[in-house]
Amino acid sequence: MYRTALRNVLAHKGRLLMTMLAVLLGTAFVAGTMVFSDTVGQSFKNSVSSTYANVSVQVKDNDAGVQFGQASKRDENSGDTPLTQATVDRIAALPGTGTVRGTVTGFAGLSDPNGDLIGSAGNTEGSNWAPDSAGQDTNYPMVQGTGPVDSHQIAIDQKTAAKNGFTVGDTVRMAVNGPVMQMTVTGIFTTTDPQVKAGGSLVLFDTATAQGLYLKAGQFDSIQATAKPGTSQDQLLAEVQPVVPHGSNIKTETGTQLSADQAAAIQSAMSGMKTALLAFAGIALFVGIFLISNTFTMLIAQRTRELALMRAIGASRRQVTNSVLLEALFVGVSASLAGLVAGIGLGALLQKVLGSMGGATLSGSLVVSPTTIVSTLLTGIVVTVLAALLPGIRASRVAPVAAMRSGDQPASQKSLIVRNSIGGVLALLGAALVLLGVHTGGSGGRMPVAAGAVFVLIGVFVLTPLLSRPVIAVVGPLFARLFGISGKLAKQNAVRNPRRTAATASALTIGVTLISALTVIGASMTSAIDKLVTQDMKADYSVSSQINPTVSPSLLPQIAKTPGVAAYSVLDDQYLQVGGKALSVTGVDATSFDQLVAPTMVSGSTDSLKQGGILIDQDHATSDHLSVGSTLPVTYPNGSAGTLTVGGIYQNSGLLGPVLMSESVLSPHTTAPYYNTVLIKGTDGATPALQQALKNATGDNPLIQVNTKQQLQQQFSSVITLLLNVMYALLGMAVVIAILGVVNTLAMSVFERKREIGMLRAIGLDRRGIKRMVRLESVVIAAFGAVMGIAIGSFLAWAAVRLLGDAITGLTTTLPYGQLAGYVVGAALIGLLAALWPARRAAKLDILASIKTD
Amino acid sequence: MTTSLRTAAAARAVDLSKVYGEGDTRVTALDRVSVEFQSGQFTAIMGPSGSGKSTLMHCMAGLDTVSSGSARIGETELGGLKDKQLTKLRRDQIGFIFQAFNLLPTLTALENITLPMDIAGRKPDRKWLDQVVATVGLADRLGHRPSQLSGGQQQRVACARALASRPEIIFADEPTGNLDSRSGAEILSFLRSSVRELGQTVVMVTHDPVAASYADRVVFLADGRIVDEMQDPTADSVLDRMRRFDAAGRTS
């Protein structure tokens, strides 16, 4: 039996090629993912341990410093005790301490020579240059120039300097927490700082400047100490702990612990990425199952007589099944081995490409763990053998007498009734669950929708043979009209073996379902965000800050003076106390409000702002039982009390907060302004000149953004688009495998229908007609798969959008018809492409050899 | 060659040779064969296995290339034709009947019959089609698919297909080879009546003397050459002639 199986593999290696390729691609994806994430993880771990190589003990103030996207966390009245020079001195005085260094870090905005922010927001860090007695900072060896010594000097990391052409003596523009600063570059340094290793930028200030920018004079956010030779990290830790301030914000750890913590954090981040990628590899392999199963089914159909003969001469059913499984095992083992090699190559390639793209430095060798090898091989083999199981069992049912029948194609058109009933029940059950989930809504609806989605998919796959006839019948007349007899025959061929067509199309359906679901969800989200952000915006420009989220009040007079500004208003976010609860209110300029913002009013009018009334959004009006004329007793941020009257209710908006009031009423009662955004209306609308004027007026600060409505929309949609594109790319593998499946099915069909093709050629169908027939069949199958995928995908996306709709205001299902239609056309083109080789083969068949009766 | 040329030849071979392979494996399947197939005649080609009878038919029908000599359908010389022109010739001027029926399982009987016209993109001649269908006796089976028809019925569909486009000449390759004797007799009578009553031209390759006896003329092939021919054959006379081949084969 073993020998027969091996012989079969060798005899059919041509026909098993696509199967092998599918398994190879799937396993290469798995292996590539594992190798790459292990390698990246290892290289980060290496860099972490080198970062903390010089740290024996670190003391860190978790509340200190300016973090990206938020103001300093430190509440002046809290009991927190900062780390100061005194702390540094006390640690320095300890007997076990070798060297000690106080560090200040925070985010910075550095401007490139064109005035744009370098890197995305939050990608540049600022820190302090802390020279030792020899005038050097071991963390930042200078390759050019010297360290910064006053508040107008900085040093820049070598990579960033090289990329932007900064050299010693240049003046660069940067901002941290206020207006733009002109700084002179005094030095360029190299570093192993993870910030730079991960692809970011680092600038160094002298310690006093950094403290002034990020903390307060004399304060640090962390202190690193090294132990004297002979003192262990733990001994030093024990010495340090008593001399540092005690508070929940202070954390003291050894370098070893820090490395371990970081490594653990990296591990979990990497395993998250790995899991996500492996999920996509899983989808690709799942698609592969269809292909493998289909191949073995076809091979067995072609070998019916041979199998029957084996049964007739005494092979048991089990032996027949085993021979098929053994064949699958050969395929699985060899394809998985090849996949493993390809995957390792893929990992190496990714390491190289990403490394050269200037992102994370991926130093170190490729990591191929035993887990990678074992799980890749096991996955490939198990998938292949499992996929061949059903065809193998079916093979054992071939009756011995079939060997005696003369060998036209076995007409195994077993009734599909059982199959259709099961499929129908599953699909309906799934649809019902999805609808139930949508009806339940919220988080409670997620489980039913998810389970329902699985049932719908499986149900439809089971039903595909049934669906194929009517769906493909629709295109029949069109094909016959457009392409004559080739079209008619193609359509007939596509429906002649519904199981085979279904299995082939289903493979494509999986990919298209996911892609179109993502497309619909993405389109819905984008349009919802567009609506939320910009529907109410009449202003031409919005001025906001990228890192520190407030726009400095000092910019307002500059904006007011800018020529071409017709009206402007701040959005001042403040918190009022109402009955012991915090209420977020936004102060706006009451007089220019109508020029800048047009909320959809449910009741009342925006005019009430001018009379000191407040506007409130519908959600709050409902939850707090407020209507026009209701009064609210409030406590202002500065402690004073007042009463506000509701003058109008508007539909929820992403641009505006829940409560609007006149800034002239609000500002006298606040401790400090918090200008989230400044909205601006131009006299001539949005013009490039005005945009430039506004940029100039705001000091060409790399952190201040002047955006039009479209730019705001793009900012949000580009995030979604990027995410979608990444997922599309990852799903591409599943589509590629599905294409292989189409190629495979067509090639096998051509082989099986060789005699028909010969006859058609004999009675006068030319080569072109034959090619066209095969290609059109492929197009029909592919388009059918895509149509089903789009239908299921859109339905599931609708359910998902309905569920998310509870959390995101204004989210409704938006079907991007053009894009979805594009997918059908794309699938048809893919079908055309997949048919190129089989069609050529069919057209090249020798007529006499084909019609010969054996 | 005593028969007077009643009409022009529907197909003609002159010094037709067909050689397969090269060197040691070189096989001469046809050795300078010259033969005419007259219009309105039912000709049978007979000969032992390997005599080259199928090769002769394939070459005459434009399914195989010739090594030397000439093969013509009507006035068209096949030798100089490209694949595209050959395809068109087969489509428009030649009908085929194969041993294994070779119907498309996805098409109904009627669709199979009109297939050559569909390929050509022509409308079938309704009157002629009705006549053909009536002659083969399939009027009530036209909507059936091949799998729902008996072997004899399938071969009758194949005959109707060959006739439907009114070709210059019909080539039948062992048309009764896969049929029981009763169905075979039906097909043969049908082929004969299509010649006598519908004025068609049929060339049939067979090794069955009974089948050959339905023809107007039998051409005997042996070792790639025409060795004899017979007018108005009977099964017995053909069988006698064939026995002499066997004897010759054994004594040589």
What pLDDT is attached to residue B250?
A: 52
Task: For chain B, give the mean pLDDT.
Answer: 86
In a domain, B191, yes or no: yes
User: For residue B188, what are the domain limits?
Assistant: 9-251
- pLDDT of residue A89 exceeding 60, the answer is yes
- Residues of chain B with C-beta less than 8 angstroms from the C-beta of A765: 87, 91, 119
What pLDDT is attached to residue A410?
A: 44
In a domain, B15, yes or no: yes
Size of interface A-B (CB pairs under 8 A): 76
- pLDDT of residue B121 exceeding 80, the answer is yes
As to burial, measured by CB atoms within 10 angstroms (0-12 exposed, 13-18 middle, 19+ buried), residue A17 is middle
Which residue of chain A comes nearest to B163, CA vs CA?
A763
Point out the residue among A755, A763, A766 whose CB comes nearest to the CB of B115: A763
- More confident position, B245 or A596: A596
What pLDDT is attached to residue A181?
A: 84
- pLDDT of residue B246 exceeding 60, the answer is yes
- Reading the block at residue A145, the tokens are 């120039």
Q: What is the band of B4 on the pLDDT scale with cuts at 50, 70, 90?
A: very low
- pLDDT of residue A693 exceeding 90, the answer is no
Query: Choosing among B98, B155, B170, which should be mutated to test the A contact, i.e. which has the most A CBs within 10 A?
Result: B98
Q: What is the band of A69 on the pLDDT scale with cuts at 50, 70, 90?
A: very low
- pLDDT of residue A314 exceeding 90, the answer is no
In a domain, B1, yes or no: no
Which whole number is the average pLDDT over B171-185?
88
What pLDDT is attached to residue A411?
A: 46
Point out the residue among A756, A763, A767 whose CB comes nearest to the CB of B90: A763
**How does pLDDT run across A762-789, given as a tens digit for each residue?**
888 889 999 999 999 999 999 999 999 9
**How does pLDDT run across A530-583, given as a tens digit for each residue?**
777 777 888 888 888 876 657 778 888 888 888 888 889 988 888 888 887 888
- Residues of chain A with C-beta less than 8 angstroms from the C-beta of B63: 762, 847-848
Q: What is the band of A730 on the pLDDT scale with cuts at 50, 70, 90?
A: confident
Q: What is the band of A151 on the pLDDT scale with cuts at 50, 70, 90?
A: confident
Count of the separate structural domains present in chain B: 1
**How does pLDDT run across B35-44, given as a tens digit for each residue?**
999 999 999 9
What pLDDT is attached to residue A120?
A: 67
- pLDDT of residue A305 exceeding 80, the answer is no
Please indicate whether, in this complex, the C-beta atoms of A766 and B104 are within 8 angstroms of each other: no
- Residues of chain B with C-beta less than 8 angstroms from the C-beta of A492: 104, 106-107
Which strand ranges, in their side-by-side order, compose the sheet holding B76-77? B27-38, B9-20, B68-73, B76-77
- pLDDT of residue A173 exceeding 70, the answer is yes
Distance, in angstroms, between B122 CA and closest chain A CA? Answer: 11
Phi, psi torsion values for A115, nearest 5 degrees: 90, 5
- Residues of chain B with C-beta less than 8 angstroms from the C-beta of A760: 104, 115, 119
SS (H, E, C) A769-792: HHHHHHHHHHHHHHHHHHHHHHHH
- Residues of chain A with C-beta less than 8 angstroms from the C-beta of B61: 762
Q: What is the pTM of this model?
A: 0.78
- pLDDT of residue A406 exceeding 80, the answer is no
Q: Which stretches within A95-245 are classed as H helix?
A: 158-164, 194-197, 207-214, 233-243
What pLDDT is attached to residue A415?
A: 66
3-class DSSP state for residue B184? Answer: helix
Q: Does A841 lie at the interface with B, CB-CB under 8 angstroms?
A: no
**How do the domains of chain A map onto residue ranges?**
1-52+255-405, 53-63+84-245, 470-538+709-854, 549-702
Which whole number is the average pLDDT over B105-116?
89
What pLDDT is attached to residue B248?
A: 63
**How does pLDDT run across A214-224, given as a tens digit for each residue?**
888 888 888 98
Point out the residue among B63, B104, B116 whose CB comes nearest to the CB of A756: B104
- Cα–Cα dist A498/A535, whole Å: 50
**How does pLDDT run across B198-212, given as a tens digit for each residue?**
889 999 999 889 999
Please indicate whether, in this complex, the C-beta atoms of A759 and B98 are within 8 angstroms of each other: yes
- More confident position, A850 or A66: A850
**How does pLDDT run across A208-254, given as a tens digit for each residue?**
888 888 888 888 888 989 888 888 888 888 888 888 888 778 888 88
B128 contacts B194 by C-beta, under 8 angstroms: no
Note the ipTM here: 0.84
What pLDDT is attached to residue A72?
A: 44
Q: Does A353 lie at the interface with B, CB-CB under 8 angstroms?
A: no
Please indicate whether, in this complex, the C-beta atoms of A492 and B107 are within 8 angstroms of each other: yes
**CATH classification of the domain holding B108:** 3.40.50.300
Q: Which of these, B248, B116, B134, lies nearest to A759 by C-alpha position?
A: B116
**How does pLDDT run across A466-481, given as a tens digit for each residue?**
888 888 888 878 888 8
3-state class percentages of chain B: helix first, strand second, coil last, to nearest 5: 40, 25, 35
- Reading the block at residue A33, the tokens are 């993912």
Q: Does A150 lie at the interface with B, CB-CB under 8 angstroms?
A: no
**How does pLDDT run across A697-708, given as a tens digit for each residue?**
887 777 788 888
Q: Which of these, A712, A659, A799, A674, lies nearest to A532 by C-alpha position?
A: A712
Query: Choosing among A409, A485, A491, which should be mutated to test the B contact, i.e. which has the most B CBs within 10 A?
Result: A485
Listed range (A154-163, A356-365, B161-170) with the worst mean pLDDT:
A356-365
- Cα–Cα dist B240/A52, whole Å: 106
What pLDDT is attached to residue A357?
A: 57
Please indicate whether, in this complex, the C-beta atoms of A489 and B106 are within 8 angstroms of each other: yes
Q: Which of these, A822, A747, A721, A828, lies nearest to A781 by C-alpha position?
A: A828
As to burial, measured by CB atoms within 10 angstroms (0-12 exposed, 13-18 middle, 19+ buried), residue B251 is exposed
- pLDDT of residue A198 exceeding 80, the answer is no
- Residues of chain B with C-beta less than 8 angstroms from the C-beta of A758: 102
What pLDDT is attached to residue A518?
A: 92
Residues of A (250-269) whose Cβ lies below 8 Å from B: none
Which whole number is the average pLDDT over A318-328?
87
Interface of B with A (CB under 8 A): 58, 61, 63-64, 83-84, 87-88, 90-92, 95-96, 98-100, 102, 104-107, 115-116, 118-121, 147, 161, 178
- Cα–Cα dist A459/A29, whole Å: 28
Which whole number is the average pLDDT over A351-361?
65
Phi, psi torsion values for B202, nearest 5 degrees: -130, 135
Which whole number is the average pLDDT over A283-292?
89
